Structure 1
Amino acid sequence: MPALLLIAHGSRDPRHAATVAALVQEVRARRPGLDIATAYLDHCAPRIPQVVGRLDDAVAVPLLLNRAYHAKHDVPAALRAAGAALPVADVLGPSPLLLAALDRRLAEAGVDVRSAAVRARTGVVLAAAGSSDPAADAATRAVAAAWRRTRGWAAVEVAYASAAGPRVPDALAALRAAGAARTTVAPYLLAPGLLPDRIAEAAAGADVVADVLGPAPELATLLLERYDAARTTARAHRPALTA
């Protein structure tokens, strides 16, 4: 069975690598015996060239929510530079499992997500990192729309910590204008760091601020789903051996 090479973005904030390590532990608990290696695009060690050389066979799984610049350019370029012709799994989003992880974090922050009445009075800011890629922006907005449609929130507004707006205070104001009796902020981010801290600071006016997705069980399940799909696709496209 090929190893799972988890490729994370990396951060100077030590909480980032600690969160990735905790997520790897969640994955290992679900797939004992699977060889899992972690590499980072930036800031953290080990980097991709340091890892791929010791892997005989692997599937690369990007720890990324959207198919933006890192997924389209940085990951393939880093693998090419390392001389690694590995199958690369799809990014994590969109997926119902991400919505379930968002629900989990809101519930942990004190929102009764099981109550339809509570959800109907609650507006949510889906606070993402932000991207200059219009497709990534559209994907985040599609997640927000699906979350509202499937859960019955009063409203779900998108905000960004970087790139173009809207910012969290703008989104909170939009929720109140839409009639939300209670406002919450749900970071659509994988690990702690500069941008999540920026979102938390900007969310001071919200009633509830959830934690980042982190090592949620749903993310561990989703990583394995992406790994299995990429492994199956790679096997189907492998040239048949001839006598």
Structure 2
Amino acid sequence: MITRAIVLFAHGARDPRWAEPFKRLQYRVQSRDPAIRVALGFLELMSPRLPELVDDLVPQGISHISIVPVFLGQGGHVMRDLPEIIEVLRQKYPDVEFRIATAVGEDESVLDAMADYCLRAAG
């Protein structure tokens, strides 16, 4: 039984095509570790929103949830909105361990990959 989940937390957009790279990321992460459930949740404009997603995961036996904000920086959504959502979820699910990573764009290896891409794109 899978008890751990990684939630890739993204902003959301009106155009469903916006989510395609996030879905590809979800697939890549999931394929690297099938023992962890990898899910994609959104702040707004798309489904599932983070609270709905957690409401779906917990009855499946998930008791450890790591939230990875797929944002370039630690802006207002990551610094303010996400902790507020997680606090409500902690109250609702006191037996679930929630961990929040820093925004993916804050990681040096991610910035290096982006720099490499920029140089390749420039020719």
Q: Report the TM-score when normalising by structure 1.
A: 0.41
SS of the residue corresponding to residue 38 of structure 1 reads strand
Matched-pair contact (CA < 8 Å) for 1:41–1:78: no
For 2:79, which of 72, 76, 79 is the aligned residue? 72
In structure 2, stretches of 5+ residues that fail to align are: none
Q: Distance in 2 between matches of 1:16 and 1:33?
A: 28
| Pairing 1:99–2:112 present | yes
Aligned residue pairs: how many?
A: 110
RMSD of aligned C-alpha atoms? 2.0
Q: Distance in 2 between matches of 1:96 and 1:33?
A: 24
**Greater RCO, 1 or 2 (C-alpha within 8 Å, sep 6+):** 2
Matched-pair contact (CA < 8 Å) for 1:39–1:46: yes
Q: Distance in 1 between matches of 2:117 and 2:33?
A: 22
SS of the residue corresponding to residue 100 of structure 2 reads coil
The Cα of 1:86 is off from its aligned counterpart by 1.2
SS of the residue corresponding to residue 6 of structure 2 reads strand
Q: Which structure is higher in helix share? A: 2
For 1:81, which of 78, 85, 88 is the aligned residue? 88
**Structure with larger Rg:** 1
For 1:90, which of 87, 102, 114 is the aligned residue? 102
In structure 1, the partner of 2:47 is: 45
SS of the residue corresponding to residue 65 of structure 1 reads coil
Matched-pair contact (CA < 8 Å) for 1:10–1:40: yes
Q: Distance in 2 between matches of 1:73 and 1:100?
A: 27
Q: Distance in 2 between matches of 1:62 and 1:89?
A: 7
Matched-pair contact (CA < 8 Å) for 1:65–1:94: no
Identity %: 29
SS of the residue corresponding to residue 67 of structure 2 reads strand
